[in-house]
Amino acid sequence: MNGIIETDVQTIEVALGERRYPVWIGRGLLHDSARWRARLRGRHALVVSNTTVAPLYLERLAQGLDGLQWSSFLLDDGEAHKSFANVGRALDALATLGATRDACVIALGGGVVGDLAGFAAACWMRGIDFIQMPTTLLAMVDSSVGGKTGVNLPAGKNLVGAFHQPRAVVADIDTLATLPEREYCAGLAEVVKGAAIGDADFFAWLETHADALAARDTAKVIEAIARKVRYKAGVVARDETEQGERALLNLGHTFGHALETAGRYTTLLHGEAVAIGMLLAARLSERLGMSGAPDSARLQHLLARLGLPVSMPTGSDPEQLLALMRLDKKNTAGTLRLILWRGIGRAQIVGGADEAAVLAVLREASAAASHPA
Ligand code: NAD
Ligand code: GLY
């Protein structure tokens, strides 16, 4: 990170009726155990991390666990390890630790670690505490907040899971110093998504500060994370279990998941697929008369400035993508249910989306990717 001198810690409270938890965003938070240790209630803690993140940051966290009975469980790195088998192993680690009902699981890593650790916490003795310590930008702005936990099955991504809210989220942005550039940019896509869906002022702020964000300016990164988390916390507070509004957070996801699946999860990172997916959703919305070309152009320009892909991978097959979109979890009764765009800062859930229009957008984007202007 650059431009680092002194930055305050931002605190955002996620409020779900009587239940509340803080999201702390700032520098040096892993070291700042006086702050987060108070969120641990018992004597046992299991730190779940992975083989990439633990060598970098486990020691920093461990100094705050003095006096507790604790152990760690490390996943191999990668989405493939967000599996049911590894939940079983994490639960075995809790059993070996002798974890009681007041034990806490601490997730130190990106979204893969956070989703699996949270699900293990939801299962052990029908639900114990967990704390999210996200170390990717994507996890800081999205997956660590809101309580969606779970794992993948061979049949599909995130098919098993539970809503289980953390006791606290500790986003130490010093950890972003080691995050590879592509992963950092993928996280920025999730920031843009929040602004595109629900906050036009934030979108304009991102346009103003895109260069600083691309250069990882500390103060701007903290502000961007805080604004996205504040927006998401509001949505989750109104619709914790996705009965309505929370589905809007999936703008671009149906297109994006189809692109990820078509690329066998090796071509695009999730955030990159979401960036392209948002643009496809914007073009479809234009075609359906819901939004205008200038808004799509602003979205495309911002994503490109933040180092994100703005066209489909060459060789994408529109018919295959449409078939994959038909398998999306959000669909109902055999019709496509999409999150579409009403321009900067406004999104809408559309059931029974016009498949011919979807196919036309996919064909156009595929042709443009094969023959760039
Ligand atoms: P990830 O957890 O795979 O992390 C990306 C890569 O960065 C990994 O190789 C990881 O080891 C590495 N890494 C993590 N922190 C690092 C650091 N500080 N320095 C160096 N390397 C580091 O991926 P992700 O993008 O964080 O999360 C994606 C996952 O999140 C997916 O499984 C997705 O389904 C899930 N997700 C969940 C929600 C939710 O609401 N629960 C929302 C969005 C995404
Ligand atoms: N990532 C979408 C959600 O948390 O609902």
The separation between CA 24 and the C-alpha centre of its own chain, rounded to angstroms, equals 17
DSSP state of 182: H
**Cα dist. 219→9, 29, 36, 107, 202 in Å?**
10, 15, 22, 25, 15
Q: Which protein residues are within 6 Å of ligand 1, measured from CB?
A: 50, 52-53, 56, 77, 79, 82, 109-113, 115, 135-136, 138-139, 142-143, 146, 148, 158, 175, 178-179, 183, 186, 270
Residue with tokens 């991504």, as numbered in its chain: 157
* Angle 270-271-272 from CA coordinates, rounded to 5°: 90
Residue 157 CA, ligand 2 centroid: distance in Å: 14
Exposure string for 245-281, b = 16+ CB within 10 A, e = fewer: bbbbbbbbbbbbbbbbbbeebeebbbbbbbbbbbbbb
Catalytic residue among 82, 250, 260, 286: 250
Tell me the three state secondary structure of residue 51. coil
The separation between CA 313 and the C-alpha centre of its own chain, rounded to angstroms, equals 22
Tell me the three state secondary structure of residue 69. strand
Give yes or no for a contact between 291 and 282, defined as CB atoms under 8 angstroms apart: yes
Query: What's the pLDDT score for residue 6?
Result: 45
Query: What's the pLDDT score for residue 335?
Result: 87
Query: What's the pLDDT score for residue 2?
Result: 39
Q: Taking the domains of the chain in order of start, what are their residue ranges?
A: 10-178, 184-370
**Cα dist. 344→195, 249, 279, 302 in Å?**
8, 14, 12, 12
Which residues lie closer than 8 Å to 63 by C-beta, 6 or more apart? 31, 33
**Cα dist. 227→12, 192, 315 in Å?**
9, 11, 37
Query: What's the pLDDT score for residue 370?
Result: 84
Instruction: Answer whether 145 contacts ligand 2 (Cβ < 6 A).
Output: no
* Angle 190-227-279 from CA coordinates, rounded to 5°: 30
Helices (H), the chain: 33-36, 54-62, 84-97, 111-123, 137-138, 181-198, 200-208, 210-214, 218-238, 253-262, 270-287, 293-305, 318-325, 355-370
Q: Is 250 a catalytic residue?
A: yes
78: its two tokens: 């990668």
Q: What is the pTM of this model?
A: 0.96
10-178 in CATH: which number? 3.40.50.1970
Q: Is 242 a catalytic residue?
A: yes
**Cα dist. 108→84, 119, 135, 243, 318 in Å?**
19, 14, 7, 29, 38
Q: Is the dihedral of CA 256, 262, 268, 269 positive or negative?
A: positive
Query: What's the pLDDT score for residue 264?
Result: 84
Q: What ligand 1 atom has the least distance to the C-alpha of 190? A: 43
Query: What's the pLDDT score for residue 7?
Result: 61
Please report, as a single letter, which amino acid is at residue 274. Answer: V
Give the DSSP letter string of 197-230: HH-HHHHHHHHHTHHHHHTTBHHHHHHHHHHHHH
Query: What's the pLDDT score for residue 330?
Result: 72
Q: What ligand 2 atom has the least distance to the C-alpha of 246? A: 5
Residue with tokens 């803080």, as numbered in its chain: 22
Helices 253-262 and 318-325 cross at an angle (nearest 10°) of 120
Instruction: Answer whether 230 contacts ligand 2 (Cβ < 6 A).
Output: no
Which residues lie closer than 8 Å to 304 by C-beta, 6 or more apart? 310
Per-residue confidence in pLDDT tens, the chain, 373 aa: 433 344 689 999 999 999 999 999 999 999 999 999 999 999 999 999 999 999 999 999 999 999 999 999 999 999 999 999 999 999 999 999 999 999 999 999 999 999 999 999 999 999 999 999 999 999 999 999 999 999 999 888 888 999 999 999 999 999 999 999 999 999 999 999 999 999 999 999 999 999 999 999 999 999 999 999 999 999 999 999 999 999 999 999 999 999 999 998 889 999 999 999 999 999 999 999 999 999 999 999 999 999 999 999 999 999 999 999 998 777 776 789 999 999 999 999 999 999 999 999 999 999 999 876 6
Query: What's the pLDDT score for residue 337?
Result: 92
Instruction: Answer whether 148 contacts ligand 2 (Cβ < 6 A).
Output: yes
Query: What's the pLDDT score for residue 317?
Result: 96
Give the bridge partners for 16, in sequence order. Answer: 19
CATH architecture of 184-370: Up-down Bundle (1.20)
